[in-house]
Structure 1
């Protein structure tokens, strides 16, 4: 359907029936077919904070996280996406794929940029932060994202939370070193395994009460 050079290399958008999939540098990245863990990440986070929470999503993806945030009663939603092509596909294809229209999107603001830089420079605070920016701390599609899982960025995200807020990280599999680093920053860290048939479970880390 479309292709082009992005910030981190070539991106391709393909269609498979009614579903859409994104290929990054020749490697499958995401699709609209299986979005269970992405949606659960948002719903589980919002269920643990106040109704109408102000939410930051790191990574637009195919838009499933945004759909879940709207369905789960988030207040204002900021989405930070580094790839201009992904934002373009959101506007041209993904919104229509999920059946979203003008009234659904009044709470949404899409910010083009790096989510780590946004958190480091914003003066705003969030009730919930959901970071689905890569495959996790130990399986990176792009090495530039390694900084998001390092101690300085963990502290920055924690300081961007409003009182009672929660920060969530997505990972393709468990990472004991990463979980240990999270526990140095947060008093409460909950690991949630998301099973999808016979494949290894996706992992969510839900973090609250910054130290």
Structure 2
């Protein structure tokens, strides 16, 4: 269920990419580090998305799409339709991808006992999403990892990494830490989410 875009609590930030999806150019990007499997993070050189800036991505990843609710980064192979993997070409599905979206803190399950972090001086948390109903002690696999970064009193920036991306925890933290909202986006989200919270208390729609 976490591989499907869940946007019920998301807030529209306005229009999507100007000029279409950006292209990442690994050849001109600066490699920073890699996993034992050889996955590298590279400086992002494509067109920046609307209201976000991206510092680094896994090598070969590009902005597959952005709408008013989420930003999706996908591997190079997503550019070529594969009948055997139709989800890969659909930016609304997060399988094999990195999804970035905003959430109202008041309508989001608090990370609670999950791993607490500080990213760029902001409170953050890391949560592992496991398959099935079991717990890590029961040997269930990690389906995805979510990193929450507090942006404002009502605003979480959530970056979700599908397990198949193969990134280490350190790499995921670096990618999440390099995704930043503009001041305009934070202000708009805070205003909208604060109103959403107040309306929920008063019963207004």
TM-score computed with the length of structure 1 as normaliser = 0.25
- Tell me the TM-score normalized by structure 2: 0.25
Q: Of the two structures, which has the highest relative contact order with CA contacts closer than 8 Å and spacing of 6 or more?
A: 2
Q: Which protein has the bigger strand share? A: 1
Higher Rg:
2
Could you say which structure has the higher helix fraction?
A: 1
